[in-house]
Amino acid sequence: MSPVPAGQPSAAAGAAASTGTAANARAAGGSSFRERVEEALRRCVPGSAGLAPGKDSLVQMSGSASNFLYRVDVETAEGGRRRLCLRCAQHAQFGIPHSVEADVMRAAREQGAVVPEVCGVLPPGDLLGSGFFMAWVEGEGRGEKIAAAFAEHGAGSQLGRQCGETLARIQSIGVESLPPLPVGPPTPLRYLASLRKQYDSVRICRPALEYTFAWLEAHAPAECQEERPVLVHGDFRSANIMAHPERGLAGVIDWELVHLGNRYEDIGWICVRTWRYGMLHKFVGGFAGLSDFCKGYEAAGGAPVDHAMVWWWALAGSVRWSILCLQQGANFRADSARFENGVVGRRACEGELDCLITIAEAAGGVDAVLASAEGVEGEVGVEEPRRERMAEDSGFPAGEELVLGAQRLLSAQVLSALTAAGDVRNAFLVRVVNNALGMVARSLRMGPSADRAEASKWSAVALARLLGPGAADADSLSALRRVLAAGLRSGQVPLERPGLLRHLLVCTGRQALMDQPKYASLATLQSKF
């Protein structure tokens, strides 16, 4: 979490605080954000006398897409000091209401799961919006840092067992004791159908996802007797746990997507390849083996875990991650002010690449798939093209030169100035813009050649052989992709088509080279060429 001094709310928090409760704010005489937190503490947290002295007693942390987080130092009625976390939102809550989230966290904690204590819930109509105070948890909450710190020694195995133990306790809670919750798909095929519905709602064509949908359906676990629905966290991964260097698991956080569903949904989600942060040999979160997790899970009362089932759900999780990215991109298109969403949208290639590599590994290995020469004469590998002289561009300076210049300006002057001034929020936004400029520059340099290579492989003639003469009417790369996607969905293009998986791997790898050139799975793919 990145702190931002919050004597006054940040620009983002201030903007949010002006929506939804403007009338209440006027009625309160325009009280400051700090004063509102003071009032909420006295009303909602037993034994609290308000904020402790000092401007650092209220510090904004990096939040999620729908919530703001604040570190809150509280002065107790006895004159002591206690640290809490305020989780709140002024706009419509994404997922379940905060009050329900708090109730579920309390139930999980009572069951023995490692969950922060909920100390007080904001009442309806509160000037801060909806939310709750919970005990502050010391530890590392960034998934990539957890993987790097815990993967290569015994602490990773311990953390894996603890995650298994706490998830088993979460799933052992009697659903009849919980408030009404959304109900997710109970079986693998129904879960896959729900993902496809979400994918279709974005209205974008992604052949790699169509291929993976078809593969998952063809290899779905046998539909046995439906297991009883359990409490599903909904986002159980290393970025939503707090890990302490000595104690291990310190808390499971961010319960906004909690629902009832299949127990393998959470088990598979923490095993998604993206959440391993480059530590691909550690199946669980990049820090532990699946056997470590299962030992803790089964020791705490969880039913025996089918490793093949976990593998299938983890692959489905990569599809889910890609769809979530596409949805963020669609949100940006609907509202360009949500710039961060647009950048996340270009991360969809991460999950797609992970899907294809995972399937290739199941088909005999990535090497064997890439060695397939059927119908791929002249196709190049996943590599960055040699930089051409930009002075020959139609513009002078070239578009790429201007973008790179803007990127250097932001890094050398704007970002450093914001960092020196302690403006962490806007410094973060500059980094987001910088990442976007990098994507644009790489797309200008590599995009045309990548498109030509893809179009030449799946030319109208090649598609006509697959789908019949009607495919020859496809007159653009987008049209070619739609024909291929439709053929995969209908089954007219078989998954075993020689060269198909190789082609999708190479094309998705090229896209990742433009969008996420440091992604770990891309390095794995590039090493094969």
Q: What is the pLDDT of residue 468?
A: 52
Residue 190: per-residue pLDDT: 94
Does residue 54 sit in the same domain as residue 99? yes
Q: Which domain holds residue 218?
A: 143-334
Per-residue confidence (pLDDT) for residue 9, from 0 to 100: 31
- pLDDT tens for 63-116 read 665 688 899 999 998 889 999 999 998 766 678 999 999 999 999 999 999 999
110, 135, 160: which is the final residue of a domain?
A: 135
Tokens of 352: 């797609």
> For 236-327, where are the E strands, in sequence order?
241-244, 248-252, 259-261
Domain count, the chain: 3
In a domain, 389, yes or no: no
> Do 85 and 154 fall into the same domain?
no
Please classify residue 180 by burial: count the beta carbons closer than 10 Å to its beta carbon, then call 0-12 exposed, 13-18 middle and 19+ buried: exposed
Confidence of residue 19 (pLDDT cuts 50, 70, 90): very low
For 357-389, how does the pLDDT look when each residue is reduced to its tens digit (9 = 90+)?
999 999 999 988 888 755 443 444 555 544 444
Residue % of the chain over a pLDDT of 70: 82
Does 89 share its domain with 150?
Answer: no
Mean pLDDT over residues 114-132, rounded?
Answer: 95
67: CATH: 3.30.200
**Cα distances (angstroms) measured from residue 338 to each of 12, 14, 299:** 11, 16, 45
Question: Is 204 a residue whose pLDDT tops 70?
Answer: yes
Residues 67 and 170 placed together within one structural domain of the fold: no
The single-letter DSSP state of residue 284 is B
CA distance 258 to 235: 8
One domain for residues 277 and 191: yes
Whole-number pLDDT of residue 473: 64
Distance CA 272, CA 199 (A): 18
Encode burial over 456-489: b for 16+ CB neighbours within 10 A, e otherwise. ebbebebbbebbeeebeebeeeeebbebbbbbbe
Burial 199-231 (b: 16+ CB within 10 A, else e): beebeebbbbbbbbbbbbeeeeeeeeeeeebbb
Same domain for 175 and 320, yes or no, is yes
CA atoms 366, 371, 376, 381: torsion sign: positive
Please give the pLDDT value at position 514: 92
Looking at the fold, whether 303 and 413 belong to one and the same domain comes out as no
Q: How many CA atoms lie within 13 A of 518 on its CB side?
A: 4
User: DSSP alpha helices (H): ranges in 335-423?
Assistant: 339-345, 348-362, 366-371, 399-409, 416-420
Which residues make Cβ contacts (< 8 Å) with residue 335, sequence separation at least 6?
Answer: none
**pLDDT at site 337:** 81
Residue 171 pLDDT exceeds 70: yes
